[in-house]
Amino acid sequence: MIRRNSFRIRLLAAGLLMLLAGTSYAAKSSRSSADDGSSLTVVIDAGHGGHDRGGIPGQRVAEKDMTLDVALRLRNILSANGYNVVMTRSTDVFVPLGGRVAIANSYRNAVFVCIHFNATPRSGASGIETYFYSRESLPLASAIHYYVAGGAPSENRGVRRRGYYVLRKTNVPAVLVECGFLTNPTEAAYAQTTSYRQRLAEEIAAGVRRRNAVGSAFGTTRVATAESIPLQPYMDQTKVASSKKSRSHKKSARKKKSSSKRSDSEARAASSDREG
């Protein structure tokens, strides 16, 4: 069940990206389709902070520092483009998930963009993935993923639907973008360069600006819907004990085919920082 869904998601994500690739010229050449940001508030959420370092135990590059740097760069770009920008944090402080959601929900005409980097014990895992939950968040997720995955040298892991707290509890379109694996030596090396973090911020900003253009370029029949991207299982990480995580890792590792690029335990390990 889980494996089949995961395969379907990959297929759908691949199909969506093929559609997106076909419209790249139209989307990029049509200036009128990008909004001027005059009425939209973008709430930028830099993942983790303070005592919450992010990532997995023993991880060398602190996720909280990378997310904050990209978030601050994104703020500068969007502010320069006329958007009203609000940060859930702009320094190295801990903000509870509920506090982050409350900030997003205090604005009416807003979008919520959560910036994270991935982590997993398997250092070979790599790539960009973008999460959404509500149907109204899919155009924003598609657009951000299109630009970030298109602008990064990393593997494209697709647009995924999952009920992370910050996506589930927000009343405005909300997206969580995983900007690569800090446990992958190549992606960690990229993330540690200012030019790459600036690139990530620029691509996320492009997705925000063209959030309505990327999806609408398909017409109504060809675009993926929230229903066609099935909800992925997730665990409420506030209730997961570490012993349970390692047991499930072994179990799914046994079941895993050698050709599989990732396991569900990886997804859980990678997500452990976001919910906890």
**Which span sits near Zn ion by CB under 5 A: 25-33, 46-54, 152-160, 187-195?**
46-54
Distance CA(166)–CA(190), nearest Å, equals 27
| Smallest distance from Zn ion to CB 270, Å | 8
Q: Does 47 bind Zn ion (CB under 5 A)?
A: yes
| Smallest distance from Zn ion to CB 257, Å | 28
- Pick 49 or 173: Cβ nearer Zn ion: 49
**Which span sits near Zn ion by CB under 5 A: 41-49, 100-108, 143-151, 180-188?**
41-49
The torsion region of residue 48 among left (phi > 0), alpha (psi -120 to 50) and beta comes to left
- Pick 23 or 272: Cβ nearer Zn ion: 272
- Pick 52 or 202: Cβ nearer Zn ion: 52
Q: Which residues pair with 84 in a beta bridge?
A: 41
| Smallest distance from Zn ion to CB 114, Å | 8
Q: Which two tokens stand for residue 183?
A: 């446990």
The b-or-e profile of 10-25 (16+ CB within 10 A means b, else e) is bebbeebbebbeebee
Q: By beta-carbon distance, which residue lies closest to Zn ion?
A: 116
Q: Does 275 bind Zn ion (CB under 5 A)?
A: no
| Smallest distance from Zn ion to CB 86, Å | 20
- Pick 16 or 200: Cβ nearer Zn ion: 200
Q: Which two tokens stand for residue 33?
A: 């389709």
Which among 267, 99, 76 is positioned nearest to 178, based on CA atoms? 267
Residues, the chain, total? 276
| Smallest distance from Zn ion to CB 48, Å | 6
- Pick 17 or 175: Cβ nearer Zn ion: 175
- Pick 48 or 209: Cβ nearer Zn ion: 48
User: Cα-flanking dihedrals φ and ψ of residue 60, to 5°?
Assistant: -75, -50
Q: Which of 65, 69, 203, 273 binds Zn ion (CB under 5 A)?
A: 273
| Smallest distance from Zn ion to CB 31, Å | 34
User: Cα-flanking dihedrals φ and ψ of residue 87, to 5°?
Assistant: -105, 135
Distance CA(235)–CA(245), nearest Å, equals 10
Q: Which of 37, 54, 158, 207 binds Zn ion (CB under 5 A)?
A: 54
Q: Does 209 bind Zn ion (CB under 5 A)?
A: no
Distance CA(194)–CA(62), nearest Å, equals 15
Q: Among all chains, which residue has been given the structure tokens 């620029």?
A: 202
- Pick 164 or 196: Cβ nearer Zn ion: 164
Of residues 103-132, those binding Zn ion (CB under 5 A): 116
The full DSSP string for 12-60 is: HHHHHHHHHHHTHHHHHH-GGGS---SS-EEEEEE--BTTB--S-TT-S
| Smallest distance from Zn ion to CB 274, Å | 5
Q: Among all chains, which residue has been given the structure tokens 């089949």?
A: 4
Q: Which spans of this chain sit near Zn ion (rule: CB under 5 A)?
A: 47, 54, 116, 273-274
